[in-house]
Structure 1
Amino acid sequence: MKYRKLGNSDIEISEVSFGCMSLEEDFEKTKELIHLAFDKGINYFDTADLYQNGNNEKMLGEAIKSFRDKIVIGTKVGNQPRENGEGWDWNPSKKYIVNSVEKSLTRLKTDYIDLYQLHGGTIDDPIDETIDAFETLKAAGKIRYYGISSIRPNVIREYVKRSKISSVMMQYSLLDRRPEESCLQLLQENKISVVTRGTLAKGLLAGKQLKNYLSYTSSDLEIVIEKLRKIPKEDRTIGQIAIQFVLNHKSITSSVVGFRTKDQLQECIKAIEIEQLSDEELNYLQNIIEPLFYKNHR
């Protein structure tokens, strides 16, 4: 496994990291998968208080307690569950964030969170108050660093200008290159890491049945897959090519992937170990489909 520095922090995280959102409720199976990931060199595990109503954090905390000090935990905050148990409301207030961190710490069985992320965000939020909440938690030693999880360029720009975020988690893949328009360069210039989600485009780049994705039709994607098959793969799968493409961009620190099986885990890790894409192949990939642009929140 290879590691890259997380923005302005002193943390290095694995190029492929573990997205816990897709973990199954079977704890023994989950624990085995997490331990295998750790044994293979994955050291960043990403969760959120929203996932499985907090049970995702609980399972992760229980699974990693024997090697907590050897890994980096990222979790997220901002979605407040409704009292009736049906859905949640957006709440980026300082009071909510400061109270929520205590619950996450308990569920994760830890004294600190390495990377605490705002789980969304709008341009109408009390952004300075939100930033103050994270800075307060950092000063108190509850969190080490903070970031945001957002695809909204207008929100990202505000946090770049007004905060000391270490990272932005955003969707980025061969099929979703919207961040290339402005966000990736902006974050790179400000030494803020990008941690990607959606690298495999909901599994469409890993063998799942093709269906409409963003504004692409399934017919568009059939053409893309056929073009991908023309790359001299040797032992590279399309999924591995997709991971290599994302990690090639200088602003990207890690690709967060949701693993459900040992085979999926092994395949994604292998993307780091096998022959990487050549300049010619990268150029080819950048032209296999017309990239999209953000229509909203610009």
Structure 2
Amino acid sequence: MELPLRPLGGQGLLVSPQALGTLSISEFYGSELTDPPDVDEGIRTIQRAVELGIQFFDTADIYGNGHNEELLGRVLGPIRDRVVIATKFGAIREPGATSHDFDGRPEYVRAACEASLRRLGMDHIDLYYQHRADARVPIEETVGAMGELVAAGKVRYLGLSEASADTLRRAHAVHPISALQSEYSLFSRDIEAQVLPACRELGIGLVAYSPLARGLLTGAITSGTTFSETDWRRTTHPRFSEDNLGPNLDRVARVVEIAARRGATPAQVALAWLHHQGEDVVPVPGTKRRRYLEGNVAAWGLALDAGELAALGAVLPVGDRYPDMSVVNRETPARA
């Protein structure tokens, strides 16, 4: 399949209109007992993505504590010149822990990049994101160090993952930012108020993670779905709470209705809505299964009419995407 390439940001980066998120190939999303990672199937999923025209792949140093970068490098290394590799730094998690710390110090930026390059087995990273802002370090210092990596040829383009509009402007003033990765979907629209307009003002592309609202928009989750005690959706995300899940499933039913009329899946309709939000928006659905990948890519060819877009635009969720939204809107101190 031929997918057209589109610019991401204004610095020359070209990507497929949909990316593949590879986190779940290295770490389980729900229960390790009921749905453990299948690395062989994950590898075949990455290879199938290339066959389908996907050339934009998303990972991070924290995914599987480095395993995901190693895997991606091993699979895509032989076709390095045909793919765009994005990875992230700055979120730190001890093995076995679920909480994170963050580090944006310039010396850590340099060390993290070298470690990612070793794991990937590559001489450069196409798109290097700060995973989350470090509230102790001015964004100017972090991005200044990231810019030095560009000058050294170790990184081609810079990005941030979850940032306020103010942080975006301050970062972009130090070195051009090509992409912001942020949660964006029918169920996650908060960035439309300030962050997305700032991206467009500055010419920064948006990479939309969790475009299927962590499974809610697939239609596969029902009132009878059982979540394991370790599933972070039920333990961390308010939209999956006992009070909110039922009302949110009622809203998903509207997506299911449109999908049924169009002979599509709810996931395809949700992704198609994102594809209609502008050529500067690139969804990055994550999957470890070829059958889901193939369905996701097919959403590129689904054209929604004005009435369907209006109906979908009215599908708003109950509950925030995180219990404490300062996690994603973290501000950094002013530069001294």
Distance 1:90 1:176 in 2: 24
Distance 1:292 1:252 in 2: 27
Quote the residue 1:246 is aligned against: 274
Q: Say which SS state the counterpart of residue 120 (structure 1) adopts.
A: coil
Residue type of the partner of 1:279? A
Cα deviation, residue 126, structure 1: 2.0
Q: State, as a whole percentage, how many aligned pairs show the same letter.
A: 30
Residue type of the partner of 1:113? I
Cα deviation, residue 60, structure 1: 0.5
Superposed CA offset, 1:236-290 (max 9, x none): 21101100111211264311011121110110000012x3111221111111336
Q: Say which SS state the counterpart of residue 19 (structure 2) adopts.
A: strand
Quote the residue 2:298 is aligned against: 270
Q: Answer yes or no: is 1:225 the counterpart of 2:237.
A: no
For residue 11 of structure 1, the aligned residue among 5, 13, 31 is 13
Taking structure 1 as reference, are residues 62 and 215 closer, same or farther at Cα in structure 2, changes over 3 Å only? closer
Distance 2:101 2:246 in 1: 36
Aligned 8 A contact 2:22 2:59 in 1: yes
Q: Would you tell me which structure has more strand in proportion to its own residues? A: 1
Distance 1:123 1:266 in 2: 39
Aligned 8 A contact 2:13 2:157 in 1: no
Instruction: Give the total of aligned pairs.
Output: 296
Q: Answer yes or no: is 1:186 the counterpart of 2:198.
A: yes
Superposed CA offset, 1:55-109 (max 9, x none): 1100000011111110000000112355x87565311011011011111111111
For residue 66 of structure 2, the aligned residue among 29, 37, 54 is 54
Taking structure 1 as reference, are residues 214 and 158 closer, same or farther at Cα in structure 2, changes over 3 Å only? farther
TM superposition score normalised by structure 1: 0.90
Q: Answer yes or no: is 1:146 the counterpart of 2:146.
A: no
Distance 2:175 2:320 in 1: 26
- Aligned pairs for 1:1-298 within 5 A: 1-24=3-26, 26-82=38-94, 86=97, 88-122=100-134, 124-210=136-222, 214=238, 217-231=244-258, 233-250=261-278, 252-273=280-301, 275-289=302-316, 296=326, 297=329
Distance 2:152 2:112 in 1: 14
Residue type of the partner of 2:285? V
Distance 1:165 1:156 in 2: 8
Q: Say which SS state the counterpart of residue 92 (structure 1) adopts.
A: coil
RMSD: 2.4
Cα deviation, residue 164, structure 1: 1.2
Q: Say which SS state the counterpart of residue 142 (structure 2) adopts.
A: helix
Q: Say which SS state the counterpart of residue 214 (structure 2) adopts.
A: coil
Aligned 8 A contact 2:25 2:68 in 1: yes
Superposed CA offset, 1:14-44 (max 9, x none): 1111101111454432221111100110000
Residue type of the partner of 2:18? V
Of residues 234-243 and 201-210 in structure 1, the stretch that sits farther from structure 2 once superposed is: 201-210
* Structure 2: runs of 5+ lacking an equivalent: 27-36, 224-233, 331-336
Distance 1:102 1:55 in 2: 15
Aligned 8 A contact 1:2 1:272 in 2: no
TM superposition score normalised by structure 2: 0.81
Superposed CA offset, 1:141-175 (max 9, x none): 00001110015444334324444111100001111
* Structure 1: runs of 5+ lacking an equivalent: none
Q: Say which SS state the counterpart of residue 218 (structure 2) adopts.
A: coil
Aligned 8 A contact 2:248 2:318 in 1: no
Distance 2:9 2:319 in 1: 26
Distance 1:106 1:162 in 2: 27
Of residues 50-59 and 232-241 in structure 1, the stretch that sits farther from structure 2 once superposed is: 232-241
Distance 1:206 1:54 in 2: 29
Aligned 8 A contact 2:55 2:83 in 1: yes
